[in-house]
Amino acid sequence: MELTRDSVYLYDFVNYDKLVIDLEILTDMNPDYTISLLSRLPTRRWIEKIDLAKIDNFWISNSRSDNAVIPDIDVITKIVNNSSPESSNLYVLDGLEQIYAESDKGMLLEKLSILTDLIKGGNNVLIICLDQLSFDSDWIARLRHITEKLTIQHRTFEAIVEDDTLAEVPEDHELVYESGIDGGPRLAYLSKLPSVGFTKEILVKRILQWRRMGLDVSAIEPALHYPSEDAYNLYKMVEENVRRATELERFIHANESLLDVSQISTDMFRLRQLTGLDELEKKYYSLSG
């Protein structure tokens, strides 16, 4: 969805995997914003989940880390207040629970109202991510009065590109991640990346897409430091394993009623780790023989 400038949104936090997917959708669909992520999750954890190259990242913590900011709404307001009036800024606040726990509840709501007025008086957007069960219901009800609910729509995308012509990496807002048997996202066929036009930026985007499907693609990470040809060769090896895992998962879903439920969970974990594919293929494909 396209964000409305001068708006404050309330986003229902479920888990970080979903937040990462939704954040990628928002950034892809709103490319004109300078993004600042203020989170209770340490930067080292975010690096594993998202490309921070174009995101200003702050860790809401009492730690003395370089990018740490204390859990105080006044500090958040100061960051917003110091932003350039010439730019459009998107602030994603994940960590209100910690600020709430260390603040006077009434005073915090008053200061959030001031922050809301500051956002609405400028050219910025604020998204407050929170688990509503962590707050008093009356307090949340009052917060809703000064915010808008943020709902992000996912569109379906599935493509297989067999030739070696230049293809664009599908955007995350074009992807949908349905729930699988094991509760994780279903695997989807993504367009094959050709050697022509292959860059590290494209590779980073593909790695993030694979991770959001719950795949352990740590084997591809060294390619980010390889020369282009070597990086592409490693990518092709991992891409083939992902293809095999996707076909296996589809087979398991199609034959779920015939399979041992207790084994499916274990095998799906191995499948997402991209390990033991030979063994899993022999085990399951023999059933159709």
What are 263-283's pLDDT values in tens digits?
888 888 899 999 999 999 998
Predicted local distance difference test score (pLDDT) of residue 44: 83
Q: How many domains is the chain partitioned into structurally? A: 2
What is the amino acid identity at position 271?
A: L
pLDDT score recorded for residue 121: 81
Tokens read off for 17: 């995997």
pLDDT surpasses 90 at 94? yes
> How many CB atoms are closer than 10 A to CB 280?
20
Q: How many CB atoms lie within 10 A of CB 95?
A: 23
Verify that 131 and 254 share a domain, yes or no: no
Clarify whether residues 136 and 183 are in a common domain. Answer: no
Considering the domain architecture, whether residues 99 and 180 belong to the same structural domain is answered as: no
201 plus 81 within the same structural domain: no
Helix, strand or coil for residue 7?
strand
- Kindly report, residue by residue over 62-77, the tens digit of the pLDDT: 888 888 999 999 999 9
Residue 154 lies in a domain: no
- Which of the two residues, 265 and 247, has the higher pLDDT score? 247
Residue 242 is part of which domain span? Answer: 172-288
Q: What length does the chain have?
A: 289
pLDDT band at 190 (very low <50, low <70, confident <90, very high): confident
Q: Is residue 104 part of a domain?
A: yes
Q: Assess if residue 205 is contained within a domain.
A: yes
**Is there a domain that residue 2 lies in?**
no
Closest CA to 170 of 214, 202, 194, 125: 202
**DSSP secondary structure string for all residues of 91-110:** EEEE-HHHHHHTS-HHHHHH
Which contiguous run of DSSP H or E holds residue 218?
Answer: none
Does any domain span residue 163?
Answer: no
pLDDT at 43 over 70: yes
Domain presence at residue 139: yes
**Residue 154 pLDDT > 60, yes or no?**
no
pTM score, whole prediction:
0.58
CATH number of the domain where residue 68 is located: 3.40.50.300
Domain assignment present for residue 160? The answer is no
Answer yes or no: do 25 and 126 share one domain.
yes
| CA distances (Å), origin 16, targets 44, 89, 128, 271 | 14, 22, 14, 22
* Averaged pLDDT for residues 235-263: 88
Per-residue model confidence (pLDDT) at position 59? 94
